[in-house]
């Protein structure tokens, strides 16, 4: 036909390149959608933590319990797929001495917790730990600030001055007031920061998740540790 040119048929090479580009675009779009879902879930953690107080009755509690159990089941199914059968998961070692195990069992006894939750178990670093404070170590409980601060102080004590572990209130002060709000913390703790190898700062994010920031002073490096693999706070990234 006059005035018309027949286009060349697309070769197999061009077709394969087009399909590769299309698959690559689809893969990137799926990753972007997954990242958006994770960011929205991260922003809603505080709301989920207040969910039990927001339920009006037993019907709402049972509904949300069944819904969250389905989510936990799907997460466990995902973890079983990720973990290879050849990998060995290291479990915490039980107390070797029977006296230590008996002491742990006595401290975490739920019957004694119900009878006297304010019973003082120990006093370390000018902090009083009651049976209610240590009950956070029971299964399906949230570790509180008192236990976390006491544990990090024990690590600092055993480091022979190589580590400084400020309390969990250090990070909120730094976020709100900047360096001026925490510049006297080391002096009050009688710690020479220049002589330390690292600062170990606990981060209690949204009141329901713990992470750790390790500041390597000599290397001018910050290591962020999060068991959920969430991104570091903006203050650490800047």
DSSP-assigned beta bridge partners for residue 215: 199, 222
Instruction: Check residue 228 and give its pLDDT.
Output: 79
Does the reported pTM lie above 0.95? no
Per-residue pLDDT, 81: 52
Beta bridge partners of 200: 214
- What is the C-alpha to C-alpha distance for residues 50 and 70, in angstroms, rounded to an integer? 19
34 band by pLDDT with thresholds 50, 70 and 90: low
Statement: residue 88 has pLDDT above 50:
no
Percent of the chain at pLDDT exceeding 70: 74
Task: State the pLDDT at residue 194.
Answer: 85
- The token duo for 41 is 């879930």
Convert 98-131 to b/e letters by CB count within 10 Å (16 or more is b): eeeeeeeeebeeeeebeeeeeeeeeeeeeeebbb
pLDDT at 117: 86
């Amino acid at each position: 036909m006059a005035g018309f040119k027949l286009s060349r048929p697309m070769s197999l090479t061009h077709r394969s390149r087009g399909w590769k580009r299309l698959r690559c675009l689809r893969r990137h779009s799926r990753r972007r959608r997954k990242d958006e879902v994770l960011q929205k879930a991260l922003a809603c953690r505080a709301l989920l933590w207040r969910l039990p107080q927001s339920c009006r009755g037993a019907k709402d509690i049972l509904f949300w319990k069944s819904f969250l159990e389905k989510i936990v089941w799907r997460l466990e199914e995902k973890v079983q797929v990720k973990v290879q059968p050849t990998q060995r998961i290291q479990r915490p070692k039980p107390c070797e001495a029977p006296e230590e195990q008996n002491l742990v069992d006595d401290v975490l006894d739920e019957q004694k917790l119900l009878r006297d939750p304010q019973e003082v178990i120990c006093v370390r670093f000018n902090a009083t730990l009651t049976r209610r404070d240590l009950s956070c170590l029971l299964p399906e409980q949230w570790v509180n600030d008192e236990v976390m601060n006491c544990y990090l102080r024990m690590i600092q004590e055993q480091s022979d001055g190589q580590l400084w572990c400020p309390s969990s209130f250090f990070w909120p002060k730094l976020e709100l007031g900047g360096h001026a709000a925490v510049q006297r913390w080391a002096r009050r703790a009688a710690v020479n920061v220049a002589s330390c190898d690292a600062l170990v700062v606990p981060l209690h994010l949204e009141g329901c998740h713990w992470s750790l920031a390790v500041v390597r002073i000599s290397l001018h490096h910050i290591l962020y540790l999060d068991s959920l693999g969430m991104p570091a706070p903006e203050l650490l990234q800047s």
